[in-house]
């Protein structure tokens, strides 16, 4: 620490010295020129400026050069056609803005028909419950308080989901099942702000709430009326222990302040006397949630202490955080998740859980305090350093002016003038000195100034998290399972490096069992269930440690867009997004990873057994090597040997993406085009050079069994089999996606002033020769 401090001081000293020297030189030039009426000295200065290296127009610089090789022109044209948009979301810079889908939703889609006709209405609100099967009838009563204007999302900590099928609403709900995980663990992984952005309000509720006196529609009306960004229903004061702030009052619609025990509130505008709701039944506006999500820590899963920090996400918090009294609930106080802990050293399971809760509260409080301290210290240092530099340069300039003037006149009388200027120059002074030097008659002005200085606003933070100190912002998450007890730092003996997902139905569970066993403990397993059956997978021990997501009749790419946000899967080096009908007898995941790393593949797939199923020549396995990146197709299929389907191409049944490639691909997936047809022809836009970084691994190969499982989930119509309607939609989506890509690229080039009249837009790119000849 001492060495680092000396280094910083040395760097700052050098910067100050350089600033002063530059100022003196500049001032000397001015001073020398100042007293004489002759223009000769001005010419000297002009000559210096004319020879100084400055940025000139690129076209003028290029025109001075005379390249003999015409390939330089071709290279310039190709470079102009490359897309790079810094204003796009991180990772999507290679895509034209018009194709970027940076946000998603939880709206279910049909497997058939026109995408534009999928949604008769779009729910405006989202309600989530973290549940166990023992509370299913309580949850049934709660869900019935929410209209069709709400998307229902259940987080199952006990692994039981199929058992909820007795309720009709459950078949339309989204179910996420991960054993022994908490509400805030789920919220950090499955409620990313970019996914829930279509919803005006997000309810994140426990399972033990009595809702006899609650109506969701009326509740929404009241929080809109009173401008509440973060809220909760009032709690019945006759049941359970609670904070004074969250107890229901019978004489009003809403309250935002209260009185607590003496000494509990240092400020009447701060928690727990104001700007405070509890974590059992909070409701967030879209904007407030975007901030709160970034504040939730990945390892602190119980959320204790979060309620005291929510105020950091809205301003003024004491007006925009409140309790709705006229729509109230009963907290039943059931220790359901607490009993999922581990008995240790003679302690009941719930005691270990409670100990961790308290520990997390302390840890979170410390993190907040340290992050704010670091922020204010860095802001103060930057401000002071900037002022020091300005002052140093100014002094240097004035001293240089004095030297220059003295040099030409040998008069010392002007020294007094310079000294007087310096003595009156405004410099950065200590904040306390500034305050003490002011003669305010109203002390409230001082308080207001201090409050303004303590407010946090960091434009470089992720969107929505600007009010938070950077050291507190958790901008990415993971799918690592956490314990309910113990030290957070000891939760993870190891962290899986890769993620594998399968989109499955229960009929293929034995095939998936064989596939999963090809992946070691270095892989997180995530199953997407299109048939709503998850409990049936308990036959397999690995399934109890896997993550299960269930939404009926949804496709792999619908799931991928909702549950594989790049910020959530960021810890994984590679993401496998696979179908359920793959034979893996000749496949080993660890060896596969070694090969894609060895050959530098960012997007890949195993080779396909040529003896089974129809496929593209590019993806057929070759028996004489480890990897291939190009092939030959039928005449006319490939306009360029470096573009799909002859190169830079894998199919969508078993792709594997590097972390960086997936961040781009995710932004290219469209929310309404759920089958993914055409996506494989556009993957090359996400890596460069694509013909070298996209390839097929021959030494680790699979068999495509071509089981039309999801296709049979379609709808028979007009005498057509169900799978035909699905197939027609797939083909329609391919055409739609191709058009969107082409239009987005065309708009991008036009915005850059490039004439596209002679371009031939294709899903696999633009021929640079059209640009050159034009």
**DSSP secondary structure, 513-553, as one string:** HHHHTTS-TTEEEEEEETTS--GGGGGSGGGGGSEEEE-TT
For residues 291-298, give the mean pLDDT: 98
For residues 9-17, give the mean pLDDT: 50
Which of 257-261, 284-288, 416-420 bottoms out in mean pLDDT, i.e. has the lowest? 416-420
pLDDT tens for 642-692 read: 999 999 999 999 999 999 999 999 999 999 999 999 999 999 999 999 999
Q: Hey, CA dihedral for 411, 412, 417, 421, is it positive or negative?
A: positive
Helices and strands of the chain, counted as H and E runs: 21, 18
Dump strand ranges (E) for 122-244.
125-131, 150-156, 174-177, 201-205, 209-210, 230-235
DSSP 331: E
Cβ distance 274 to 245 under 8 Å?
Answer: yes
What is the distance between the alpha carbons of residues 516 and 543, in angstroms, rounded to a whole number? 9
- Tell me which residue of 181, 158, 178 sits closest to 482, measured CA to CA: 181
| 3-state secondary structure (DSSP) of residue 653 | coil
Residue 343 scores a pLDDT above 70: yes
Give the residue ranges of DSSP H helices in 531-687.
Answer: 556-563, 589-598, 659-668
For residues 329-348, give the mean pLDDT: 82
Q: Hey, CA dihedral for 36, 37, 39, 42, is it positive or negative?
A: positive
For residues 16-31, give the mean pLDDT: 58
Residue 55 scores a pLDDT above 90: no
What is the distance between the alpha carbons of residues 279 and 26, in angstroms, rounded to a whole number? 61
Residue 491 scores a pLDDT above 90: yes
pLDDT tens for 694-720 read: 999 999 999 999 887 777 777 777 778
For residues 609-635, give the mean pLDDT: 90
| DSSP β-ladder status, 283-285 and 201-205 | antiparallel
What is the distance between the alpha carbons of residues 546 and 527, in angstroms, rounded to a whole number? 7
Total number of residues shown for the chain: 774
Q: What does the pLDDT read at residue 127?
A: 98
Q: Using pLDDT thresholds of 50, 70 and 90, give the confidence band for residue 396.
A: low
CA distances (Å), origin 50, targets 42, 43, 129: 12, 10, 70
Residue 150 scores a pLDDT above 70: yes
What is the distance between the alpha carbons of residues 156 and 175, in angstroms, rounded to a whole number? 7
Residue 572 scores a pLDDT above 90: yes
What is the distance between the alpha carbons of residues 381 and 394, in angstroms, rounded to a whole number? 20
What is the distance between the alpha carbons of residues 338 and 348, in angstroms, rounded to a whole number? 10
pLDDT tens for 453-478 read: 578 999 999 999 999 999 999 999 99
What is the distance between the alpha carbons of residues 361 and 53, in angstroms, rounded to a whole number? 57
Dump strand ranges (E) for 211-258.
230-235, 254-255
Q: How far is CA 132 from the centre of its chain?
A: 29
Tokens of 34: 């100042």
For residues 16-32, give the mean pLDDT: 57
Which value, in Å, is the radius of gyration of the alpha carbons in the chain? 32
Tokens of 59: 């076209």
* pLDDT, averaged across the chain: 83
Neighbours of 460 (CB within 10 A): 7
């Amino acid at each position: 620490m001492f060495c680092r401090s000396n280094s910083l001081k040395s760097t700052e000293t050098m910067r100050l010295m350089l600033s002063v020297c530059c100022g003196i030189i500049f001032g000397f030039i001015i001073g020398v020129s100042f007293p004489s009426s002759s223009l000769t000295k001005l010419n000297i200065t002009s000559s210096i400026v004319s020879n100084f290296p400055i940025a000139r127009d690129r076209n003028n610089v290029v025109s001075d050069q005379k390249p003999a090789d015409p390939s330089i022109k071709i290279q310039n044209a190709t470079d102009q056609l490359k897309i790079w948009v810094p204003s796009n979301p991180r990772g999507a810079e290679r895509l034209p803005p018009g194709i970027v889908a940076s946000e998603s939703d939880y709206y279910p889609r049909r497997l058939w028909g026109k995408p534009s006709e999928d949604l008769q209405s779009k729910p405006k609100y989202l309600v989530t419950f973290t549940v166990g099967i023992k509370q299913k009838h309580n949850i049934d009563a709660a869900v019935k308080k929410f209209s069709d204007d709400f998307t229902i999302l259940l987080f199952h900590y006990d692994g039981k989901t199929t058992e909820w099928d007795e309720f009709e609403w459950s078949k339309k709900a989204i179910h996420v099942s991960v054993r022994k995980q908490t509400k805030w663990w789920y919220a950090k992984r499955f409620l990313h702000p970019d996914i829930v952005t279509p919803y005006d309000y997000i309810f994140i509720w426990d399972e033990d709430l009595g809702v006899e006196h609650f109506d969701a529609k009326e509740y929404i009306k009241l929080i809109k009326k009173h401008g509440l960004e973060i809220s909760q229903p009032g709690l019945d004061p006759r049941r359970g222990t609670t904070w004074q702030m969250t107890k229901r009052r019978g004489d009003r619609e809403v309250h935002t302040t209260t009185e607590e025990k003496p000494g509990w509130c240092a400020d009447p505008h701060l928690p727990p006397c104001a700007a405070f709701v509890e974590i059992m039944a909070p409701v967030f506006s879209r904007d407030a949630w975007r901030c709160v999500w970034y504040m939730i820590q990945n390892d602190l899963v119980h959320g204790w202490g979060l309620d005291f920090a929510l105020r950091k996400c809205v301003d003024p918090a004491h007006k925009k955080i409140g309790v709705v009294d006229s729509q109230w609930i009963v907290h039943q106080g059931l220790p359901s998740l607490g009993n999922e802990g581990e008995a240790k050293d003679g302690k009941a399971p719930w005691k270990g859980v409670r100990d961790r809760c308290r520990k997390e509260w302390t840890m979170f409080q410390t993190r907040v305090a340290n992050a704010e301290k670091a922020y204010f210290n860095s802001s103060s240092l930057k401000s002071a350093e900037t002022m020091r530099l300005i002052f140093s340069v100014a002094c240097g300039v004035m001293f240089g002016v004095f030297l220059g003037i003295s040099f030409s006149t040998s008069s010392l009388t002007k020294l007094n003038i310079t000294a007087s200027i310096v003595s009156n120059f405004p410099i950065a002074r200590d904040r306390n000195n500034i305050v003490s030097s002011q003669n305010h008659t109203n002390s409230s002005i001082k308080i207001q100034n201090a409050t303004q200085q303590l407010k946090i606003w960091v434009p470089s933070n992720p969107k929505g998290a600007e009010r938070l100190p950077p050291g507190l912002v958790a901008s990415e998450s993971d799918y690592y399972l956490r314990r309910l007890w113990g030290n957070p730092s000891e939760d993870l003996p190891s962290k899986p490096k890769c993620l594998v997902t399968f989109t499955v139905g229960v009929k293929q569970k034995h095939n998936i069992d064989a596939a999963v066993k090809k992946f070691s403990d270095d892989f997180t397993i995530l199953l997407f269930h299109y048939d709503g059956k998850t409990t049936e997978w308990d036959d397999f021990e690995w399934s109890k440690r896997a993550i299960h997501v269930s939404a009926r009749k949804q496709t792999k790419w619908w799931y991928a867009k909702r549950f594989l946000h790049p910020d959530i899967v960021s810890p994984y080096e590679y993401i496998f997004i696979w179908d359920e009908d793959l034979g893996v007898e000749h496949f080993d995941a660890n060896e596969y990873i070694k090969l894609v790393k060895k050959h530098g593949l960012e997007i890949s797939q195993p080779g396909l057994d040529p003896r089974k199923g129809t496929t593209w020549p590019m993806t057929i396995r070759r028996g004489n090597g480890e990897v291939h990146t190009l092939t030959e197709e039928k005449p006319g299929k490939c306009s360029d040997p470096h573009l799909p389907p002859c190169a830079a191409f894998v199919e969508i049944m078993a792709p594997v993406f590097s972390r960086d490639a997936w961040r781009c691909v995710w932004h290219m997936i469209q929310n309404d085009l759920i089958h993914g047809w055409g996506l494989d022809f556009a993957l090359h836009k996400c890596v460069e050079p694509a013909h070298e970084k996209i390839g097929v691994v021959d030494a680790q190969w699979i068999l495509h069994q071509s089981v039309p499982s999801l296709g049979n989930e379609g709808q028979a119509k007009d005498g057509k089999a169900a799978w035909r309607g699905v197939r027609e939609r797939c083909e329609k989506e391919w055409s739609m996606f191709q058009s969107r890509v082409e239009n987005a690229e065309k708009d991008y080039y036009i915005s850059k002033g490039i004439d596209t009249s002679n371009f031939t837009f294709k899903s696999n790119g633009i021929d640079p020769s059209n640009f050159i000849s034009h």
